[in-house]
Structure 1
Amino acid sequence: MLMQNVLATFLSMLSLSLAIEGQIPCPWRKDGHPVDLPDANFCDRIHTCVNGFIAKTYLCQDGLVFDGTSCTIPYGNICQDRAKLQRPKGNGITCQRRNEVQIIQGNCVEYLRCVENIRYRMECLPDLWFDPEQGTCNHQNLVNREDCL
């Protein structure tokens, strides 16, 4: 009986501390498989839940964000409610973040992509422009860039 009370108190305190931190409650899966959930504040932080409890918390690589499925280059409104990010780990010269996509003003067909702090110049396929809202090349009529008009 004492052990049950101790366990119940521990679970209550854990639940309360998660609520205080604003964390999303972990779902319980009957098959026992882990569930990855986004952090409530940090767009690049992931909580892995197992049996209803946070088993592990980790970060995407610098410059990538968790889209609900995997870590990816940020695009669109992925992080609209979770704007915080880890401290940048770029080289401070060519890459502000270890992994990022950079627009080249006035150049609609090329863009820069940093992968592990190495910057590459990328080129879109013919008839496509770089779309910073999607983080990739897109059809010209779908790209909203004033410097490409």
Structure 2
Amino acid sequence: MIGDRFRFVDLAEHPVVVLIDDQGNATIEGEDRVCPLILAEVMFRIALFYEAAHENAVCRPTSRAERALEPLQEQAATLDREFAVWTDGTGHAWDLTCDWVDAYGRAWQWTGDLDQVSGIPLMRTEYRTDVQSLDVLREVCGPISPARNRGAA
């Protein structure tokens, strides 16, 4: 069991990643890198395994209220401009090439800049009507989750 630790995934080694949020919503990254029939077969086998292992208890998703929002610790953060990945001071890597969707369904994109004071990436809505730093976006409009890749920022 991994727990709250993070393992960085090499997409050359593992081309498909399934992310399941605390409400049971799934996002599949890289499904275009694997034959759909192979992906369907693997996911079917996974479904059979977990269905057989499930007890008759009611499933209870983890509530966001039970988890404290971790600070980004911008003083220890780094930005890899070549790959548009910002790693916050806690070690979380943020892919800035994809849109980030907030709790209200709005897509946010990286402006290409960092906040001049904090050094945290500046994000703007898809319609360019609002600009917020990533930490403010998480706090005010969160939770946020990655959307489908839109290409380089």
Q: What TM-score does the superposition give when structure 2 sets the normalisation length?
A: 0.22
Q: Which has the higher helix share?
A: 2
Which structure has more relative contact order (CA 8 Å, sep 6+)? It is 2
TM-score (norm 1): 0.22
**Largest Rg, 1 or 2:** 1
